[in-house]
């Protein structure tokens, strides 16, 4: 098999922007503000920062170091770590595939809503417009019976652009796209925040978000929420940064970059909290209700609450374009990184070039996404898949990886030495304690908490058949996929090219 030189990032800044673009996603804008508000407002800052420093950044550094040391997307990286660990890598690839197929749909909605904002097409009833007119959601969960072209065409466009960027490669595609989109995202969002802060009632929103309720500090579920927010927001646990750092130069810094990416992600979240709650404060004042009555998160916040606010706001059209444009860009740069995990894994294990890997693996991902989600059942499927792949894909795989690396393979000392060879911030014993002890305990706690909820009642009261087919079957299916892919006789990549710590160039 012909070995190609491994692709590389052009510059450190380019890599950092791509890493930040991957970390900043939909969750920063539509999840953090509500989680913080719900978890004690200003007091939430304490568990949040503790979670960032004791789990978020240590895990980010772990992914950076694995990708850089073993020079491969997750299956190859874990195979090089230990032959038996390859399924962990494929598990992450499977999770990335599943997330990519529905994440792209939300980006497509955001693109459409940026357009709808111009003439406030949702009219007087944004809720009905979103679910009935735009998504054409069926009354009951079941088998899809109709295809929704209004969702399909922006989704196809999102996939064409995403695969187009990936076709251009790491440097000319991913890096260049992030060099354009991340500064653009920051500028758009700053304009949005300034506008939100100048609205009447903005102060009430900020009061609601930042007034501390210290009694929440002793509430265990607030700590679970803080760790969950950090974990999902940083996009750790499904191999993105393992893939991205495998394209770094041999002598590249790891820990300093991870700190910059981690703090950039949180900085953007704080900004999003200010922007979202200032806006909610305006609406609460206009409607004469307390801010807490309007506070919500996720799809309901973005596609129902915000359109209503935009309709009530002077120059709302501009605000709408800024908000949905930011959402689309934040989602798009994350989507690129998620699909790259799948593409990179196929490239590394088969030895095929980027173009066939993008068209093959990326093409299949796009086709599944386009076939399944622009249907009248797409919303139900998305909701259930999202819930189960987050809990029993990302978080569970994260837990298993941390235990396997720290306790079974006992690789933390080797990885620590590797990171310290080139990094700005030296790792000490604290890093091993965070990963070997605190992170597994917290992730295990999150898992237990989530399983308990799952078994006590059906998620969102959905029928059990839907939870089995779109939830449990998908989460378990990814694990079965990982095992099958690991036993296939790949002809390329892996143990024969195990790089040494001296840092010589890996072969593939």
Partner 1 sequence: MSASAIVMLIIAIVVVWGGLGVALLLLRRHPDRPDEETQA
C-beta of 253 vs 386, nearer to partner 1? 253
d(CA 75, CA 89): 4
C-beta of 257 vs 486, nearer to partner 1? 257
d(CA 110, CA 171): 27
Rule CB under 8 A: say whether 267 interacts with partner 1: yes
d(CA 292, CA 300): 15
Rule CB under 8 A: say whether 260 interacts with partner 1: yes
C-beta of 11 vs 453, nearer to partner 1? 11
Beta strand residue intervals within 91-174, DSSP E: none
Rule CB under 8 A: say whether 42 interacts with partner 1: yes
d(CA 148, CA 442): 41
CB 7 to partner 1: min, Å: 9
Q: Kindly state the tokens that stand for 299.
A: 């799809």
Site string for partner 1, 411-450 (x = CB under 8 A): -----------xxxx-------------------------
Which one of 107-115, 227-235, 265-273, 466-474 is the stretch in contact with partner 1 (CB under 8 A)?
Answer: 265-273
Site string for partner 1, 326-345 (x = CB under 8 A): --------------------
CB–CB of 10/248 below 8 Å?
no
CB 259 to partner 1: min, Å: 4
Among candidates 440, 431, 437, which has minimal Cα distance to 412? 431
Rule CB under 8 A: say whether 256 interacts with partner 1: yes
Which one of 79-87, 188-196, 252-260, 379-387 is the stretch in contact with partner 1 (CB under 8 A)?
Answer: 252-260
Rule CB under 8 A: say whether 259 interacts with partner 1: yes
CB 292 to partner 1: min, Å: 14
CB–CB of 305/225 below 8 Å?
no
User: Which member of 243, 257, 334, 406 binds partner 1 (CB under 8 A)?
Assistant: 257
C-beta of 56 vs 316, nearer to partner 1? 56
Rule CB under 8 A: say whether 197 interacts with partner 1: no
Classify 375 as helix, strand or coil: strand
Rule CB under 8 A: say whether 94 interacts with partner 1: no
Q: Is 119 exposed, middle or buried (0-12, 13-18, 19+ CB in 10 A)?
A: exposed
d(CA 389, CA 473): 10
CB 427 to partner 1: min, Å: 13
Contacts of 494 (CB under 8 A, 6+ apart): 76, 79, 80, 349
CB 473 to partner 1: min, Å: 39
d(CA 36, CA 272): 11
d(CA 30, CA 78): 33
Contacts of 87 (CB under 8 A, 6+ apart): 78, 479, 482, 483, 485, 486
Number of residues that bind partner 1 (CB under 8 A): 37
Name which of residues 202 to 231 contact partner 1 (CB under 8 A).
203, 206-207, 209-212
Name which of residues 232 to 251 contact partner 1 (CB under 8 A).
249-251
C-beta of 368 vs 425, nearer to partner 1? 425
C-beta of 267 vs 311, nearer to partner 1? 267
CB–CB of 45/217 below 8 Å?
no
CB–CB of 188/32 below 8 Å?
no
Task: Tell me which DSSP letter residue 493 carries.
Answer: S
Among candidates 312, 370, 307, which has minimal Cα distance to 126? 307
User: Which member of 188, 240, 252, 322 binds partner 1 (CB under 8 A)?
Assistant: 252
C-beta of 53 vs 137, nearer to partner 1? 53
10 Å Cβ neighbour count for 396?
Answer: 24
CB 263 to partner 1: min, Å: 4
Among candidates 385, 397, 75, which has minimal Cα distance to 246? 75
d(CA 393, CA 476): 9
| Bridge partners for 147 per DSSP | 375
Rule CB under 8 A: say whether 6 interacts with partner 1: yes
10 Å Cβ neighbour count for 48?
Answer: 27
User: Which member of 147, 153, 263, 445 binds partner 1 (CB under 8 A)?
Assistant: 263
Which one of 39-47, 65-73, 454-462, 480-488 is the stretch in contact with partner 1 (CB under 8 A)?
Answer: 39-47
Site string for partner 1, 49-68 (x = CB under 8 A): x-------------------
C-beta of 432 vs 507, nearer to partner 1? 507
CB 41 to partner 1: min, Å: 7
Binding site for partner 1 (CB under 8 A): 5-6, 8, 12, 41-43, 45, 49, 203, 206-207, 209-212, 249-253, 256-257, 259-260, 262-264, 266-267, 270, 274, 422-425, 505
């Amino acid at each position: 098999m012909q070995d190609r030189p491994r692709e590389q990032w052009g510059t450190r800044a380019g890599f950092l922007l791509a890493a930040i673009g991957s970390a900043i996603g939909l969750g920063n804008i539509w999840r953090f503000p509500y989680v913080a508000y719900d978890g004690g407002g200003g007091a939430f800052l304490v568990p949040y920062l503790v979670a960032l420093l004791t789990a978020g950044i240590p895990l980010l550094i772990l992914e950076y170091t694995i990708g850089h040391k073993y020079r491969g997307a997750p299956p190859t990286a874990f195979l090089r770590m230990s032959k038996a660990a390859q399924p962990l890598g494929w598990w992450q690839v499977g999770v990335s595939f599943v997330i990519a197929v529905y994440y792209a749909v939300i980006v497509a909605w955001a693109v459409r809503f940026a357009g709808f904002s111009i003439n406030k097409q949702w009219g007087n009833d944004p809720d009905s417009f979103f679910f009935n007119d735009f998504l054409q959601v069926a009354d009951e969960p079941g088998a899809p019976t109709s295809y929704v072209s209004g969702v399909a065409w922006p989704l196809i466009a999102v996939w064409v652009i995403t695969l187009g960027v990936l076709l251009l490669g790491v440097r000319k595609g991913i890096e260049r796209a992030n060099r354009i989109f991340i500064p653009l995202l920051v500028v758009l969002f700053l304009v949005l925040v300034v506008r939100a802060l100048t609205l009447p009632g903005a102060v009430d929103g900020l009061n609601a978000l930042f007034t501390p309720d210290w009694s929440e500090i002793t509430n265990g579920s607030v700590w679970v929420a803080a760790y969950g927010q950090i974990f999902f927001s940083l996009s750790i646990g499904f191999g993105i940064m393992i893939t991205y750092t495998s394209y770094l130069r041999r002598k590249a810094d790891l820990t300093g970059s991870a700190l910059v990416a981690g703090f950039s992600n949180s900085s953007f979240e704080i900004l999003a909290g200010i922007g979202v709650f200032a806006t909610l404060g305006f609406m609460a004042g206009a409607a004469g209700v307390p801010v807490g009555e309007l506070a919500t998160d996720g799809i309901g916040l973005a596609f129902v609450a915000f359109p209503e606010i935009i309709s009530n706001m002077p120059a709302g059209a501009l605000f709408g374009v800024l908000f949905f444009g930011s959402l689309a860009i934040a989602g798009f740069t994350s989507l690129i990184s998620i699909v790259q995990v799948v593409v990179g894994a196929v490239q590394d294990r088969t030895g095929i070039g980027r173009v066939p890997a993008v068209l093959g693996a990326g093409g299949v991902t796009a086709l599944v996404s386009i076939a399944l989600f622009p249907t009248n059942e797409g919303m139900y499927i998305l909701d259930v898949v999202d819930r189960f792949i987050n809990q029993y894909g990302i978080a569970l795989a994260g837990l298993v990886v941390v235990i396997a690396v720290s306790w079974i393979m006992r690789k933390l000392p080797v990885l620590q030495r590797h990171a310290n060879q080139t990094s700005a911030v030296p790792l000490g014993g604290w890093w091993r304690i965070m990963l070997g002890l605190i992170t597994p305990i917290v992730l295990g706690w999150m898992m237990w908490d989530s399983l308990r909820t799952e078994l006590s009642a059906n998620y969102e009261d959905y029928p059990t058949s839907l939870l089995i087919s779109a939830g449990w079957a998908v989460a378990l299916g990814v694990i079965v996929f990982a095992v099958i892919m690991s036993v296939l006789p790949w002809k390329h990549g892996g143990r024969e090219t195990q790089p040494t710590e001296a840092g010589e160039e890996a072969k593939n």
